[in-house]
Amino acid sequence: MADDQNPQLPLEAGGTPPGGSNVIPINIEEEMRRSYLDYSMSVIIGRALPDVRDGLKPVHRRVLYSMSEMGLQHNKKYTKCAKVVGQTMGVFHPHGDSAIYDTLVRMAQPFSLRYPLIDGQGNFGSVDGDPPAAMRYTECRLERIAGEMLADIDMETVDFVPNYDESTAEPSVLPTRFPTLIVNGSNGIAVGMATNIPPHNLTEVLNAAIDLVNNPSAGLLDVLKHVQGPDFPTGGFIFGRSGIADAYRTGRGRFLMRAKVATENLTKEKQAIIVSEIPYQVNKSKLIERIADLVNEKIIDEISDVRDESDRDGMRIVIELKRGAQPEIVLNQLYKHTQMQDSFSMIFLAVVNGAPRELPLVDAIRSFIDHRIDVVRRRTVYLLRKAREREHVLEGYKIALDNLDTVIRIIRGSASRAEARENLYIWGQGTEIVVNLDRERLPGEERGLTYRQVDAILELQLYRLTQLSVDEILNELAEIRRRIAEYELILSSDTRLREVIVEELKEVRDKYGDNRRTVIVDETAELQMEDLIADEQVAVTVSHQGYLKRTPISTYRQQRRGGTGRTGMKTRDEDFVAQLIINSTHAYLLCFTNTGRVYWLKVYEIPDVGAAGKGKSIQSLLSLQPGEKVITILAIRDLEEEGKFVLFATRNGIVKKTPLKDFSNVMARGIIAIAIEKDDDLIEAAITNGGQTIFLATREGMAIRFDEKYDPERSGAGLRPMGRNAAGNKGISLKKGDQVIGVAVTDCDSTREKIRDEFAAKTNQTKKLEALRNAEKQAHDTLQHAREARRNGSPEDEKLKTAERNAEKACEDSWKALKDLDEKLGVPKTLILTVTENGYGKRTDIDEYRLTARGGQGVANLKANTKVGKTMNVLTVDETSELMAISQFGKIIRIDTTSIRKAGRSTQGVKLLDLEAEDKVAAAVVIPAEEIKEDDQGTLLS
């Protein structure tokens, strides 16, 4: 009734709105606009877009941080994904388990991320689009590289914010040591905007970042010297370079991706297209279904079958063609109608200072560098504070140690700990204290001991009063002060700060960097033959008479020891397999001739004639000049590799080494590799690393061994790198009528000493080895003094002669003792096998040939006489080597080199094969360990 008597007045008449006085009238349009903007920014910042600093969205960041807090490091055991999801959802991300698990799965997929951040165990999906197993079945832990994203997070390097219920705190950004946003890319759809950032190669991006740190004014052209373009985890090709610079300059661009394909001969008339890599984010099973649909719909008629032969070794889609079909035509059709050619549209959008922004590549790298500068500076402040706190305590220890008797007297005279604390503090403020802090007091710092220092002194254990512990305290104080000086330098010098950042970037690059997977080709370039050849490992067999063939390694199944083997190459009775090369079909074969020229062959150019085929003559594969013959074939995958050299040796004793990259300019007609005089020939070429030893042997039984490493301070020490057209240096001084017949490249003495140290350490024989080394050195010093004494005195003095003989015997005994220890330790030996023309041979330890300067006459290697004949060849062997020798009359023998007696340098050796009166050994080679022929072992290529 009261309500009827006092009706509600309308608002325009000054009435009260329904619900009471706390209701405020608003404009519905303004409220919708404001609420939608708030929602949009929440989605943009808190869900859909990555932060430019660590490249992560909040859910990714929370998963990684949660796993770190759970202790799931790369070297710890796996934990159920359900536990990780539950922990993340309960503490940091209360938005449902499916979103968290999907995020975790993607960070573990090697086909989704260029550098996966989570190490998954179990079914995490596949490139076919198969879903992952339920989280209760899968397990995970952090990848090692993820630790670099979380490094130093406990050193106040980033800001922490309260989690959703303010029960704990979470990082607002991770202190990552590499630009994850660029390296792993990102994608997301926000409100009114989207991001799609491709992954890149870690080495390239970090090299560009290092360049920008050292040179902040560097621009896009400088960055593009390092960053070639996107590097997708699934490999493939990027077709065209023209748009890459524009895309990185504006932050938007389009990259055309193509599958990696090759052709394979199924029969003489049928071919197949083999797809080994597909474009990024393409579903393999749907791609195969699409190809099948095109065949069924008669859009592509030249395909007879398509099947998926992928396995754990890699992807392999076989598109079998009809007889007479042209692979290039079919490929163009597949590129047009399927996702074998696809595009990636880049939108480089990220959150910068709390707002979304499209970024050029240079700005993205600079944002990461700014983040690293902030992280390193904050870390240094934290470490400086901790160091000063520790210094303060150590200074208290130093004061107490300098006044130890007084401190002990005060403590013993106190009735309680509190009284002792107060008495020490009062004493510390007095004028009688002897204080030597090696530095000035800071403004406001107490004159004597502080309460903190007093507490530290009272907690000092008695054993710390020993002289050893006192020294430890003083050393620690000196080290802490050194660190403080370093931290202060970093904080005060921008140059030093940037040096620290560069050092850390290089460390990450060297630890995790790898080669590109995606190859960038020019858009105008036509498909080359190499693009259609599968990049696979093959076995290239080279016969003694120069026949070559290649065979896929997969042709030879692995057999158990004692198997019958299978025929790898059919040869004539007077021929045999002299060399086996296992390398990629895209590798180069450097073919060096006796006249000092080099020719190139690609492995895929060698015919594949089946496992039992004879092959093709090298004369028909190369355009050799009259009188030329190939004497050495070297297999090289990368002609630009640094630190590799080609060593040459000629018949007249000339040696030379040339950087491998000097042979990267491939020419079909060949080029000069070494300048050779008319009366000389190249006898061998070998790959070296610049720090090995060179062994030359001559026909008359002499040999010399010298270091390859060049030393300009010593005459004749090593080999200086020379260009292709250079003639080289004298390797050995030959007597009249003598000539070099063989070369061996072995590890340097320092490398072999390291191996000997490793074997000695494994068997606790290090002390014995050192004692024997010292004894050998002392014996050599004694011998040198004895020889000097004899030279300075009378050469006929019997006492001096006896002393020299005794010294020589001591040297011999010490060397034998070392060799006996090597035998006991099982140290692998480097042996030189010398074969003579009359069929004799011997094995000699390389250490018996002392190192000398290059160009000397050398030492005796063989007692060459009418019985054994001249030296025919020298070879490097071990305890597993086998020898194949053939005579001029076609007699062949194959023997285990362990059956050849070990002998000293100047010995004759033992008979290897019986020859007729006029017959001589024509060639001898060590057959490859994996040689594909029937043998007693039966162990074949694997």
Give pLDDT tens digits for 597-627. 999 888 887 877 665 567 788 887 888 888 8
Rounded Cα distance, 446 and 433, in Å: 13
pLDDT greater than 50 at residue 297? yes
| CATH superfamily of this structure's domain 49-176 | Topoisomerase II, domain 5 (3.90.199.10)
For residue 822, is pLDDT > 80? no
Structure tokens belonging to residue 47? 């869900």
Identify whether the C-beta of residue 538 lies closer than 8 Å to the C-beta of residue 583: yes
**For residue range 348-395, what is the model confidence (pLDDT) as tens digits?**
999 998 888 999 999 999 999 999 999 999 999 999 999 999 998 998
Contact 135, 97 (CB under 8 A): yes
> Does pLDDT of 26 surpass 70?
yes
Give 850-894 pLDDT, tens digit per residue: 888 888 888 888 887 888 888 988 888 887 788 888 888 778 788
Output the pLDDT for position 886: 80
What separation in angstroms does the CA of 9 have from each of 4, 26, 123, 371?
12, 19, 69, 61
In the structure, what pLDDT confidence band is assigned to residue 437 with cuts at 50, 70 and 90? Answer: very low
User: For 199-240, what is the HEC assignment?
Assistant: CCCHHHHHHHHHHHHHCCCCCHHHHHCCCCCCCCCCCCEEEC
Percentage with pLDDT > 70 across the chain: 86
**Residue 656, pLDDT above cutoff 70:** yes
User: Picking from 41-50, 169-178, 589-598, which range would have the lowest pLDDT averaged per residue?
Assistant: 41-50
The whole-number pLDDT of residue 540 equals 83
What are the boundaries of each domain within the chain?
49-176, 260-339, 372-503, 536-747+830-927, 753-825
| Number of Cβ atoms within 10 Å of the Cβ of 629 | 12
pLDDT, position 655: 93
- Mean of pLDDT over the chain: 83
The pLDDT of residue 649 is: 92
Q: Is 137 a catalytic residue?
A: yes
pLDDT at 526: 47
If DSSP states are collapsed to H, E and C, what string results for 773-840?
A: HHHHHHHHHHHHHHHHHHHHCCCCCHHHHHHHHHHHHHHHHHHHHHHHHHHHHCCCCCEEEEEECCCE
CB count within 10 Å of CB 324 equals 9
Q: Domain 372-503, what fold?
A: Topoisomerase; domain 3 (1.10.268)
Q: pLDDT tens, 512-570?
A: 999 999 999 886 554 555 665 667 777 787 887 788 887 776 655 443 333 333 444 44
Contact assessment for residue 255 and residue 247, using Cβ atoms and an 8 Å cutoff: yes
- Burial bucket for residue 140 (CB in 10 Å: 0-12, 13-18, 19+): buried
d(Cα 224, Cα 212) in Å, to the nearest integer?
A: 12
> How confident is the model at residue 38, as a pLDDT?
62
Asked if residue 254 has pLDDT above 80, the reply is: yes
Higher pLDDT, 288 or 942: 288
Q: pLDDT tens digit string along 305-356? A: 999 999 888 899 999 998 878 788 888 889 989 999 999 999 999 999 888 8
* Distance separating alpha carbons of residues 403 and 435, to the nearest angstrom: 9
Q: Confidence band (pLDDT; 50, 70, 90) for 692?
A: confident
Please state the pTM of the whole predicted model. Answer: 0.56
Structure confidence at residue 937 (pLDDT):
38
DSSP H/E element including 37: helix 28-43
Confidence category of residue 938, pLDDT binned at 50, 70, 90: very low
Token readout for 383 is 């470490």
* pLDDT value at 65 more than 70: yes
Q: What's the rounded Cα separation, in Å, for the pair 750 and 758?
A: 12
Q: What is the pLDDT of residues 667-676, one digit of tens each?
A: 767 889 999 8
Output the CA torsion 653→656→657→661 (10° steps): -130
Per DSSP (E only), the strands in 207-332 are 237-239, 252-258, 260-265, 271-277, 303-308, 317-321
Say what the pLDDT of residue 204 is: 95
Most trustworthy range by pLDDT among 299-303, 517-521, 571-575, 635-639? 517-521
Q: Specify whether domain 260-339 bears CATH 3.40.50.1820.
A: no
Identify each DSSP E strand in 310-363 by its residue range. 317-321, 341-347, 349-352, 355-358
Please indicate whether the domains covering 49-176 and 372-503 agree at the CATH topology level: no
Q: What is the mean pLDDT of residues 9-38?
A: 66
Average pLDDT over residues 626-651: 88
- Cα dist from 401 to 405, 418, 436, whole Å: 9, 21, 11
Catalytic residue among 36, 137, 164, 451: 137
Residue 896 has a pLDDT of: 84
Query: In this predicted structure, what is the pLDDT of residue 752?
Result: 67
Burial, 310: exposed, middle or buried (Cβ in 10 Å; 0-12, 13-18, 19+)? middle
The token duo for 864 is: 């060459």
Q: What is the mean pLDDT of residues 433-451?
A: 55
Which segment, 167-171, 688-692, 715-719, is predicted with the most confidence on average?
A: 167-171
576/280: higher pLDDT: 280
Q: What is the pLDDT of residues 255-267, one digit of tens each?
A: 999 999 998 888 7
SS (H, E, C) 868-887: CCCEEEEEEECCCCEEEEEE
- Portion of the chain with pLDDT greater than 90, in percent: 38
Distance (Å, rounded) from C-alpha 398 to C-alpha 214?
Answer: 42
- Cα separation, 124 vs 112, in Å, equals 11
Q: What is the pLDDT of residues 151-162, one digit of tens each?
A: 999 999 999 999
What pLDDT, on the 0 to 100 scale, is given for residue 203? 95
Q: What is the pLDDT of residue 799?
A: 75
More confident residue, 654 or 846: 654
Least confident stretch, 4-13, 377-386, 696-705, 718-727:
4-13
Tell me what pLDDT residue 555 has: 56
Out of 2.120.10.90, 1.10.10.60, 2.60.120.10, 1.10.260.40, the CATH code matching 536-747+830-927 is 2.120.10.90
Q: Place 240 in a pLDDT band, splitting at 50, 70 and 90.
A: confident
